[in-house]
Structure 1
């Protein structure tokens, strides 16, 4: 009999092992979480994750590939319509194994394998992490000058007379008093009778 090349041998032969893993995968997709031995959980993980990858593809060929492993059409339909949309944003790692101790009868190590259906938290890329790490360092090296804004500007003071301003006003008043004011009639005012209109020289 050919010996399996990966992991412990489950069941009596290769065909029995395929059927056993197919039934475990069917139960996992139906109940979202099952308890089994640690060895079976570790062998089931790559099989279940490959089936979820086919379900995310969603076409007819992928559905037929899944039907080779899982014979229950209702479970396959549930995998394609309910589970695949929940893990659409997740790039692998669709299952989780949690060790739960040892079985009472034969002391076999037991584990719970379950589907990871939580929404994915987006990771920050390495570029943004390095940019965020260097930005505070650069800002701490350069001193920042605080300037007064318009709100904090000083209020306008009332005009106070300075000695220079008073001297300028007095000199302007003196020059205005010395200059004779011309009594020129406005253009629209009529001429008074005392004044004679100028006659053109002949």
Structure 2
């Protein structure tokens, strides 16, 4: 039966019974062994608790470090997104400003002289008081005839620049100049970031 055993445990001969009877010394040794076994078990339990506490602390520290790495990575990603968004907004602002300038230039170039005079007259209608005494609308000769439906008589005045409307009355004078308004708007557009409006 022992042929397959690699090692054999030997019992202390003092603990073996003689003819089936245990001696008192053997009983003491057995009691000592039981006490020693209890101490070994207690020591093993304490060591296991220490190892468990150490493992818990290491796990807590690892979780804390992982959380810190995740938070740091999240902050880096947020900063990257903020920078990308700022760059996108700057580029979009530049594109919008350039598009507005191009559309404005096209609109000004495509506006006919009669449309410019009509716009000036509409402005005078909005700005001038409703009941004027001795009111006369003056236009450059190239801008004649005036738009239909105006409440004032109209006269040609070669001292005015083409595209300029001048309303004279006893109570004051009002002027609408399409070219000046277009220049002011062009300058306002040119002041936008990324704007390059042709003069």
> Based on CA coordinates, which of the two structures has the bigger radius of gyration?
2
TM-score of the two chains, using structure 1 as the length reference: 0.18
- Tell me which protein shows more helix as a share of its residues: 2
